[in-house]
Amino acid sequence: MTSQSTINCIITGAGGFVGQALASALLEDPLVSKLTLTDVVEPSSPNRKGQSKVEVRCVKADLTSLETCQTLFTPDLNLIYILHGIMSGQAEANFELGLKVNLDSTRQILDLLRRTNPGVKVIYPSSTAVYGPPATPTTKITEGDTPVPGTSYGAQKHICETLLDDYSRRGFLDGRSLRLPTVTVRPGKPTGAASSFASGIFREPLNGEKAILPVSKDLEVWICSPRTVVKNLILARDIPKEKFPNTRIVNLPGITVTVNEMLEALKAVGGDEALKRVEEQRDEATEKIVLSWPTRFDVSRAKQLGFADDGPLERTLQEYLEDYGAKKQ
């Protein structure tokens, strides 16, 4: 076993919820020997469930600083997860900050890596926010459809995908850009993402608190559970690069649901009591961003590459209660 433990991995944005869930999973992975977790606030080291012997290091770091990146991205790393970023709503409200973090700091890391760790595997979660609204709402989007981002967040993500694709084509890095659906149910507090409500309307009511619904109940969203996303982030590492002939970009699996269907699932799991805690309070800015994202995808490419399917929604809610429910928080 020890001789196989050769993965020395870093996760940026590791204080975030996806970062923490990914770190938890990697701690149990016999292939992993070292794990560096970094974020603007020192991230916690997830609890170890089993006999994990992974060496974990948690580092507070500002990745917009070149010096900091030079210290962190050492040549012994062989697996990079770039999870840090300013989320969609905040990047729209604070353009300069989004540009600096989502574009410049990612670019800086890619440029550093291609010099110090040539050919290193870089897994970059992108977002379906790279797409603008589809021509017709029922169109199923594939990787063959042009991203016309309706937000700065989407534009910044698409630029990084394009860079990572070119660096991978040239053999500078071995990138994989995974366009994540909206991840729900996230634990913790609301985030700067315009899609934050998609977790809030489950999480708060299930925790006995009120939740604000800022969009129409007829609105559709394209979502994925945390467990499926983490599974796919790890699968991405193990798919041979030869399977990505022209581009490293993949739209990950998810499910399309209306807000009404989300509320029905909430009721099924949490009862009428939970449902009553959701209060409608439309917010135009949020709705405008969410409406700019397509919600129906044909994920044949992801399936062909071996990525895992998601759903159903009620199972996701049960998983949320298992992983993050009242007892766990």
Q: Which is nearer to a copy of itself, 17 or 153 (CB)?
A: 153
Please state whether the peptide bond connecting residue 137 to the residue before it is cis, i.e. omega within 30 degrees of 0.
no
Q: Which is nearer to a copy of itself, 267 or 288 (CB)?
A: 288
- Provide the minimum distance between the beta carbon of 125 and a copy of itself in the complex, in angstroms, as a whole number: 18
How far is 40 from 165, CA to CA, in rounded Å?
A: 27
Strands 182-183 and 55-60: unpaired
Q: Which is nearer to a copy of itself, 147 or 270 (CB)?
A: 147
Query: Which residue from 84, 103, 82 is spatially nearest to 173, judged by alpha carbons?
Result: 82
- Provide the minimum distance between the beta carbon of 93 and a copy of itself in the complex, in angstroms, as a whole number: 12
Contacting residues toward a copy of itself, per CB under 8 A: 95, 132-133, 135, 143-150, 152, 155-156, 158-159, 162-163, 165-166, 169-170, 246-247
- Provide the minimum distance between the beta carbon of 252 and a copy of itself in the complex, in angstroms, as a whole number: 17
Instruction: Report the SS3 class of residue 78.
Output: coil
Write the DSSP symbol of residue 264.
H
- Provide the minimum distance between the beta carbon of 158 and a copy of itself in the complex, in angstroms, as a whole number: 6
- Provide the minimum distance between the beta carbon of 148 and a copy of itself in the complex, in angstroms, as a whole number: 5
Q: Which is nearer to a copy of itself, 166 or 279 (CB)?
A: 166
Q: Which residues on adjacent β-strands are paired with residue 121? A: 79, 174
173 burial via Cβ count (<10 Å: 0-12, 13-18, 19+): buried
Tokens 């507070």 -> residue: 60
How far is 94 from 152, CA to CA, in rounded Å?
A: 10
Q: Which is nearer to a copy of itself, 156 or 199 (CB)?
A: 156
How far is 89 from 144, CA to CA, in rounded Å?
A: 26
Active site positions, annotated = 153
Which residues lie closer than 8 Å to 111 by C-beta, 6 or more apart? none
At 169, list the tokens. 């084509």
- Provide the minimum distance between the beta carbon of 167 and a copy of itself in the complex, in angstroms, as a whole number: 9
Angular region, 142: left φ>0, alpha ψ -120 to 50, beta rest: beta
Q: Which is nearer to a copy of itself, 31 or 159 (CB)?
A: 159
Query: Which residue from 311, 225, 229, 326 is spatially nearest to 274, judged by alpha carbons?
Result: 326
